Amino acid sequence: MMGWIKSGDVTLSPAQFDERARKAATVLQQAGIGSGDGVAFYLRNDLAYFEASFAAGIVGAYPVPVNWHYTPDEAGYLLRDSGVKLMLIHADLLPPIAEAIPEGLQVIVVETPPEVRNAYHLGEIDLPAGLPVWGRMVDAAAPFEGEPLPPLASIIYTSGTTGRPKGVRRAPASPEQAEAVTLMLGRSYGYMDVIEGRAPPESIVTAVIGPVYHSAPNAHSAFSIRLGANVVVTPRFDAEELLALIERERITHLNMVPIMFNRLLRLPDEVKRQYDLSSLRFITHAAAPCPPPVKRAMIEWWGPVINEYYGSTEMGNVTSLTSEEWLSHPGSVGRVMPGVDVRVVDEDGNDVPPGTVGEVIGKSRIATEFTYQNAPEKRAAMEKYGLITPGDVGYFDADGFLYLCDRKNDMIISGGANIYPAEIEAELHKLPGVADCAVFGIPDEEFGESVMAVVQPMPGIALHEDDLKADLRRVLTAYKVPRRIDFADSLPREDSGKIFKRKLREPFWAGRDRAI
C-alpha cells in the first residue's frame, strides 16, 4: 500500500497518478521534448504541476518552475535565459505575460482548477482560443511505453534578492549521489523511519503549503510523492485553513517557513483552541531566519515537534536541529548532518575559533555538480576552498552548533565597524507592537554607511521612532541603533519569507557604487 495525492475534490491513487504521469510523458514526447530539454511550469500548486513534473522526469527533461508573481519583464528574462522548449501555464496567468513570451516557444494552457480559483477569488476563466489544453491532451494520450530515464532535478531560479535570478542546473545524480540526497532530505523532513524501514510510507500524511516554484516546497513535495507518502496539495497558505487541514487529514509532517508561524500565532486564541493538532509528529522549517520569540511560542503551542534545517539551493541542506536542541541552544540552526562538510572561515580561508564570526561554506561530500544557467562566472564565484558559499556569515559554538549572523551582502560597514542587521532585527522583533522589520545600510557622508530600519507595526498600533530607538539603546551598542526608522504597512517579501531588502535599499543607493 502506498500513499495518495489529492487536491481539491480529486484524489489519485499511486497507480492513477503513475498513469497520468506516463500519459503526460507521451504528450511531452509528442511536443518534441527529450533528454536534457527544459519545460517551464508557470503554474500555481495543482495536480497538473506534479503530473507534468514527473512526466518531464520520465523523458529526461528538466522541470523549470516559474514564480508566477513575476512581472512580464522578469518572466520574459527567465523564459529566455532558461532556454525552455515548452511552457505550461494556468489560463488566468497567461494574459498578463503573453507579450513577454519568446517567439517560437510552445505554450500549452492548463485549466485553472476550482480549488485554485476559490483560493485566489477568481471567477470563471475562459480558455484562450488557438492553444492546446493540457488536461484534454493528457486524457487522450496513451501511456508512455519506453523505459523511464533517471529524473533530473528541477532548475530552480534563485530569488533574485540581489539581482537577476540565476537558474541552478544540476548534473544527473549517480546512484551513490541519489542515495545521499535521499538521506539528506529524509533527515530534513523527518522521514528516516520510512527510509530505514521502521514504518510504511503511508504512515506519513503531509501537505504542500508553500509555492512549488520555491526550492524547499519543490524538493519536499517531489520527495514525498516519490517516497509514497500521502500528500495533500493546497493552492496557497492560509493560517486557519491549515489548522483545519491538520485536523481533517490527520497531518503528521509539514515543511514550513517562519512567516507561516507568524501568521499562525496571530490567530485569536479561541481559533487556535478549536482544532485538534495531536496528529503532528515532525514539523520542519527553513528558508528564512526565525525570530527566537516566534519559535519558542510555536514550540509551546505545538510541542517539541518543531525542527529546523539550514541550507541553500546550491549547497543543499547541511545542518539539522530538534526542538530540544534549540531550547538548549536558542538561535542556532543546528549541527552538521552526516556526510556533509561545513566550515566557518576568515578572508584567507582559515577556520575561525568557536564563537568567532566568519563566512559559512559547505556542501555534501558527494554532492552532484551544478552550474548557473548561462553564468559560469557566477558559479565560479560560489566556490570557496572546495566548498560552496551561500553568502552567510555566522559562527560555531563550543558544542558544534551553527549560528547565523546575517547575509554577507547585508552586512553594514559604518565607520570601519561591521554591523549585522539580523542582530538589530532580532531586538526589534522583541519590542511590543512590532510585526515585522528590515534593517539595512544607507549612504552616510561621514561614516560611509549608517543603519536604517523599516518597521511594520501591528494592526492598530502606533509606534514612534524616538521610543523604538530608546528601547534599542538599552540592549544594543550605540552605533548599532538605527539612525533612521521609517514605518510601513507591509514589507516587500517573498512567499518563502525572505524580505526583498534590495527593493528597500535601491532608492538610497541609486547612482552610487555600492552593490545593492
Q: Is the pLDDT of residue 95 over 90?
A: yes
CATH assignment at residue 21: 3.40.50.980
CA distances, 41 to each of 156, 285, 412 (Å) = 11, 25, 38
Average pLDDT over residues 123-141: 95
CA distances, 4 to each of 354, 359, 395, 499 (Å) = 46, 43, 42, 35
Sign (positive or negative) of CA dihedral 233, 268, 291, 341: negative
CB atoms near residue 164 (< 10 Å)? 13
* 369 inside domain: no
* 249 inside domain: no
Q: Is the pLDDT of residue 506 over 90?
A: no
pLDDT level of residue 150 (50, 70, 90 thresholds): confident
What percentage of the chain reaches a pLDDT higher than 90? 73
pLDDT of residue 36: 94
Which of 483, 494, 486, 490 is CA-nearest to residue 448?
483
Q: How many domains does the chain have?
A: 2
* 89 inside domain: yes
Q: Is the pLDDT of residue 378 over 90?
A: no
* 250 inside domain: no
CATH assignment at residue 443: 3.30.300.30
* 169 inside domain: no
Domain boundary among 128, 152, 176: 152
pLDDT by residue (tens digit) across 9-36?
Answer: 999 999 999 999 999 999 999 999 999 9
* Enclosing domain of residue 126: 8-152
Burial class (CB in 10 A: 0-12, 13-18, 19+), 437: buried
* 283 inside domain: no
Domain boundary among 132, 152, 172: 152
CA distances, 250 to each of 209, 231, 238, 322 (Å) = 15, 11, 17, 22
The residue type of 232 is: V
* 207 inside domain: no
Grid cell 517573498 in the structure block, residue = 494
Domain boundary among 135, 152, 169: 152
* 259 inside domain: no
Least confident piece of the model among 67-76, 288-297, 344-353: 288-297
- HEC secondary structure over 5-47: EEECCEEECHHHHHHHHHHHHHHHHHCCCCCCCEEEEECCCCH
